[in-house]
Structure 1
Amino acid sequence: MDLNTIKEVAHPQVRDQLPVWAAGDAWLAGGTWLFSEPQAHLTRLIDLTDFKWPALTIDKTGLTIAATCTVAQLDALSCPPEWIASPLINQCCRAFLASFKIWKTATVGGNLCMSLPAGPMIALTAALDGVCTIWKADGSERKINVADFVVGDQRNVLSPGDLLRQIDIPLAALTRRSAFRQISLTPVGRSAALLIGSVDNTGGLALTVTASTVRPIQLAFNAIPRANELREAIRHHIPDTLYHSDVHGKPPWRKHMTLRLAEEIREELQGAPRR
């Protein structure tokens, strides 16, 4: 869709060239949502592509994902064999249920900043203990866990003029055993529940709940809990008011599927046979 109110497109190449944020500004990376509907309130786009940030960087500390990394680039990443959690990357990329055109344009950062409950990049990076680096509008920098970055349906911690620069995934998270579950109300629908569990080297279980809730919810256990313990923990930490409601699923059904998928993850990571 043409944005016929845009009067200027800025092309900064380094942070010092970022223009002073003003009403009517918007960041432009992939633009898959930006150009999908009218944006009559916008007058200037600030194009991030000229920063030319490396999409993906692997080093001894883990993985750095630039905010401008596309879904296609992330899905094509060749991971070290010791990263046994790496199948989560492909599983979450496919939870988009989007065309190849979207994959080649939509960005990881854009998915986080849209902060939709069903955002699969939110699920992936939260479950892998991702840490966001935010360039603040005042020139400072802030780091925050992905799980705390999203605070509600299409709401996050960014203030006007703040920019998500990258997400850092620690090596320890990439080397954990993991399990993935996702369900939609229809065969090609938006995720209604997307859960990821992982077990660390001490035997502790971490469970990340997304899509069924308005924001990511994380539960941690010192060991893999019994079925009733897991069920009660979910009921305690996720009140009914946190379950999302839209045409892709109503809260009671999302709650039921969250409990069911969590138990499947518990059984898989414990090694119990599926019922």
Structure 2
Amino acid sequence: MDLDIDTVRVARTRADCALRPGEAFLGGGTFLYSEPVPAQVTGLVDLMGLGWEPWSVDGSGLRVAGTCTLAELVAGPGSLGAPGPYRGLGIVGECVSALSLSAKVARTATVGGNLALGLPAGSMAGLFVALDARAVIWTPDGGSRELPVADLVTGAGRVDLAPGEVLREVRVPGRALGARTAFRRASLTPTGRTAAMVTGRTLPDGDGPGRVLLVLTASVPVPRAQPIDPGDHEALDRWIDSIAAAGGWYEDTHGTADWRAAMTRRLAHEALDELGGTA
């Protein structure tokens, strides 16, 4: 598809990220080939030229650059998810696969782009909310701010990013990396868009002995997270029942609200049983 724009600038320094009238940021750019460019956008600023290290991990946690491609995420952090200090990353590959991407798109699409779109089926939100991650955002005045990834998405296709702000990186705390994690997904067809997704992890003792955190995405307009005691399926049902009155279930051609609610309930109970075990 042709892109109806006038200019493309490649950002090499932070100063290059200062947007001019009519400009918008460009990450991997894969979304541009599925939707028309907004009429008010006449130029793009390519963030890939900044040369950010895709990811790094140490005792303090995991850092993932906004420009890290989904393929780099799987080949890097996703490869660390075996039993051991980084087993919490075991759901990385599944969350990327939930996007039903071709290998070509996965090598181009970015973590930051997926999060910044704020789409319910954008599975990077489910991944990083489950891992208690925080988003680091560059502000146009040269400063930065942080907020939980759980608060980044504010609605279907809406995010807490002001004009000129850049999603610099996502930081996962070290305490989440060693947790056991779970992943469940449902769609109308085997290769269809994700209609319901549940991710979760075990919580440290400081958050309550044996408690688990469950995160719902795709079936709801914004990520929803809730700590649940192992085996407390009644509490889980009460929480899921409350969603209808607190923003409701998301609905589009990939699934009705009632079907998504039913699938989410089933997947959440499965994840609770998995995380509530001792394996």
> Counterparts of 2:60 and 2:244 in 1: how far apart (Å)?
32
> Counterparts of 1:201 and 1:38 in 2: how far apart (Å)?
45
Cα–Cα, structure 1 residues 166 and 134, in superposed 2: closer, same or farther, change >3 Å?
A: same
> Counterparts of 1:172 and 1:209 in 2: how far apart (Å)?
21
Give the corresponding residue for 1:106. Answer: 109
> Counterparts of 1:239 and 1:85 in 2: how far apart (Å)?
32
Give the corresponding residue for 1:17. Answer: 16
Matches within 5 A, 1:1-275: 1-4=1-4, 6-22=5-21, 24-39=22-37, 40-77=39-76, 78-79=79-80, 81-202=84-205, 203-221=210-228, 223-237=229-243, 239=245, 241-271=247-277
CA contact (8 A) 2:230 2:273 kept: no
2:23 maps to amino acid:
D
Superposition misfits of 4+ residues, deviation over 4 angstroms: none
> Counterparts of 1:37 and 1:117 in 2: how far apart (Å)?
16
> Counterparts of 1:27 and 1:212 in 2: how far apart (Å)?
28
CA contact (8 A) 1:217 1:238 kept: no
1:207 maps to amino acid:
L
Cα–Cα, structure 1 residues 84 and 160, in superposed 2: closer, same or farther, change >3 Å?
A: same
Which shows bigger deviation, 186-195 or 72-81? 72-81
Say which SS state the counterpart of residue 191 (structure 1) adopts: coil
Structure 1, unpaired ranges of 5+: none
> Counterparts of 1:14 and 1:168 in 2: how far apart (Å)?
22
1:110 maps to amino acid:
G
Q: For 1:10-31, what per-residue CA distance to the aligned partner results, in whole angstroms no more than 9, with x for missing partners?
A: 2221212323442x21111100
Say which SS state the counterpart of residue 206 (structure 1) adopts: strand
CA contact (8 A) 1:21 1:161 kept: no
1:201 maps to amino acid:
P
CA contact (8 A) 2:18 2:140 kept: no
1:161 Cα shift? 1.1
> Counterparts of 1:37 and 1:219 in 2: how far apart (Å)?
34
TM-score under structure 1 length normalisation: 0.93
Cα–Cα, structure 1 residues 37 and 212, in superposed 2: closer, same or farther, change >3 Å?
A: closer
> Counterparts of 2:19 and 2:187 in 1: how far apart (Å)?
42
1:29 maps to amino acid:
G
1:271 Cα shift? 2.9
Say which SS state the counterpart of residue 242 (structure 1) adopts: coil
> Counterparts of 1:190 and 1:20 in 2: how far apart (Å)?
33
> Counterparts of 1:190 and 1:28 in 2: how far apart (Å)?
24
Cα–Cα, structure 1 residues 86 and 238, in superposed 2: closer, same or farther, change >3 Å?
A: farther
> Counterparts of 1:42 and 1:67 in 2: how far apart (Å)?
21
- Equivalent pairs: percent with the same residue? 40
TM-score under structure 2 length normalisation: 0.91
1:268 maps to amino acid:
E
> Counterparts of 2:19 and 2:252 in 1: how far apart (Å)?
37
Q: How many pairs does the alignment contain?
A: 269
Structure 2, unpaired ranges of 5+: none
Q: For 1:92-143, what per-residue CA distance to the aligned partner results, in whole angstroms no more than 9, with x for missing partners?
A: 0111111111100000000001110011111111111110011112322110
2:218 maps to amino acid:
A
